[in-house]
Structure 1
Amino acid sequence: MTQHALLNNIQHQNTKVITQYSAEYGDNITSVMAFPTEFVELQKEYPILFRQDEESKKLQAVALLGIQQSENLYLDESLDSGWAAHYIPSALARGPFLIGFQTQQDNGEQQKVPVIHIDMDHPKVNEQRGKAIFLEHGGNSPYLEHISTLLNVMHQGMTISDAMFAAFNEYELIESVNIEFELNNGEKHRLVGNYTIDESRLQSLNAEQLAKLHQAGFLQLAFAVVASMSNIRRLIETKNQKLNR
């Protein structure tokens, strides 16, 4: 269940949000949406893959967090944050907050402007512990300012995602990838339905094509996706370590 409400400093003055990560709070997910605006940070610690949305048939990017259903190998109860990586994907770091749109008048014209909503049924929302959303006298807390930045990363990422995939398709850079591996205990796994950047095709682009991708801001993102694939090895190593405990 979800109960979305427009965030305001009267109704939510005493609302707090738990910022630790745990399966208890629903963070045990195998993948999470990734946005082009965070690819450069994500590629340092997560595999970035592309998947086709079942309804829209459009490609969307995800950060891979585990190799089995309901598994997040970045969760670590021994850490205060509960998360074993420096950068946390914005779609998870935003917690119970989301972007909504509100119609406002601007110079006599109606415009839709992004506003922050909160899911009051989210397991991290309470009034007893966690980080305050608003200061005692009603101003935005540093935590809410951080959330606003994350939501902007997501919003801007959504606005350029279609153009990015269109550019990748134009230069035939997207290829399907099957990820196969065997764990130390003999278990064999095969992850299908994923796409990535064809590294050899990317390297074969001519100067004009590279320049166009660079000018559009997508060349760096393509290289980030390629570099991120090395993090699959990290996931496998983490899984083996957990099996040995």
Structure 2
Amino acid sequence: MTNISPLNSTQHLNTSIKESKDYSRFASQSLIPIVVQEFSVLANEFPIVFVKNAETGQFTPIAMMGIKNDFNLYCQTENWESSVTPIGFSKAPLSLMQTSQNSDEVMVFIDENSELVSSTEGEKLFEKSGEQTEYLKKRSSALLDLASFTQQTAGITKYFADLSLLTPKQLTVTLNSDTPQVNIDGVYIIDEKVLNELKDEEFLTIKNKGLLPLIYAHLTSLHQIARLITKQNELDKTQP
């Protein structure tokens, strides 16, 4: 259970955060939301696809970290083995929230029940004077950057959707010979046919906005599905 509280120097003067690459809290989450600023890096390891919110119709890019529902192949142990890490993995136990529904102001919150929170070890958040430490300033800046990236990502994915570039795709994955095929539904990809048939003006606008590298990183990343298949097959071999 989480215990989210506004971060302040009075209540959290002696609070520290332990740095950790234990991401096992995502063990049952195979689809990890990401931002467009990390497409080029994450595409070297994970398939990047899009999912659609059924209520709002908004699309979100995600990194696939598993073949089977609710099973993250990378987060089953405390050891993170990949050379690349989604930005969002590193924000815990801190988060940003609006001070009120009608305000654009945000505050830093902390999950006091997180295993990363300590009073005896780790990076301190406040000096004895109550001033923020350089560590907290750096973490707060990273949270603000991520919030900005998330907003930009929402705008870009909406732009793709408005151009009808996003198309639903059922991914059919064949694992070991004694395992039935696995169908992965509910994901969307950039439709290359639609992309190539865009009007010259629309294509040039995408180019001038600097969005072509994002599209190509996404399309190239789909080859990483083979990596997930290999990891799943290797895991299945160890199961009784």
Q: How far apart are the structure 2 equivalents of 1:232 and 1:64?
A: 8
Work out the CA distance in 2 between the residues paired with 1:203 and 1:177.
Answer: 18
Give, as a single letter, the amino acid of the residue that structure 1 aligns with 2:161: N
After superposition, the CA RMSD in angstroms is 2.7
2:58 and 2:158 in contact (8 A); partners too: no
- Of 213, 221, 230, the residue aligned with 2:223 is 230
- Cα 1:86–1:145, aligned 2, differ >3 Å: closer, same or farther? farther
Output one character per residue of 1:180-213: Cα deviation in whole Å (capped at 9) or x when no partner.
1121252221110110111233244454222211
Q: Residues 23 and 89 of structure 2 are in contact (CA less than 8 Å); yes or no, is this contact kept in structure 1?
A: no
Kindly tell me the number of residue pairs found equivalent between the two proteins: 234
Tell me the SS of whatever aligns to 2:216. helix
More strand by share: 1
1:87 alignment partner, SS class: coil
Identify the range of structure 1 (13-22 vs 221-230) with the bigger mean alpha-carbon deviation: 13-22
Shift of 1:142: 5.7
SS at match of 2:178: coil
Percent identical among aligned pairs is 24
Structure 1 residue 218 displacement after superposition: 2.8
Q: What is the CA–CA distance in structure 2 between the aligned matches of 1:138 and 1:87, rounded to whole Å? A: 35
CA 1:186–1:127 in structure 2 vs 1: closer, same or farther (change >3 Å)? Answer: farther
Aligned to 1:20: 21
Matches within 5 A, 1:17-96: 17-18=17-18, 19-23=20-24, 26-28=25-27, 29-75=29-75, 77=77, 82-96=79-93
Contact 1:46 1:231 in 2 (8 A): yes
Per-residue CA deviations over 1:37-90 (Å, capped at 9, x if unaligned) read 32232222222121111332322222111122332212374xxx7212223212
Alignment-derived partner of residue 189 in structure 2: 196
Q: In 1, Cα distance between the equivalents of 2:57 and 2:161? A: 14
TM-score scaled to structure 1, two decimals?
Answer: 0.81
Measure the CA separation in 1 of the matches of 2:125 and 2:191: 43
> TM (normalized to structure 2)?
0.82
User: What is the rounded CA distance, in whole Å, between the counterparts of 2:123 and 2:233 in structure 1?
Assistant: 35
* Structure 1: runs of 5+ lacking an equivalent: 104-109
Distance 1:169 1:87, change over 3 A: same
Question: Post-superposition shift, 1:241?
Answer: 1.9
Q: Which amino acid aligns with 1:20?
A: K
Q: Which amino acid aligns with 2:227?
A: R
What SS does structure 1 have at the residue aligned with 2:71? coil
The 8 Å contact of residues 27 and 72 in structure 1, kept in 2 or not, is answered as: yes
User: In the aligned structure 2, how far is the partner of 1:89 from the partner of 1:225?
Assistant: 15
Q: CA 1:210–1:153 in structure 2 vs 1: closer, same or farther (change >3 Å)?
A: farther
Change over 3 Å in CA distance of 1:138–1:236 after alignment to 2: farther
Match of 2:32, SS state, is strand
What is residue 107 of structure 1 aligned with on the other side?
Answer: none
Q: Aligned pair in 2 of structure 1 residues 88, 118: CA closer, same or farther (>3 Å)?
A: same
1:154, distance to aligned residue in structure 2 (A): 2.5
Q: Which amino acid aligns with 1:45?
A: E
Look up the match of 1:210.
203
Give, in whole Å, the separation in 2 of the partners of 1:139 and 1:86: 35
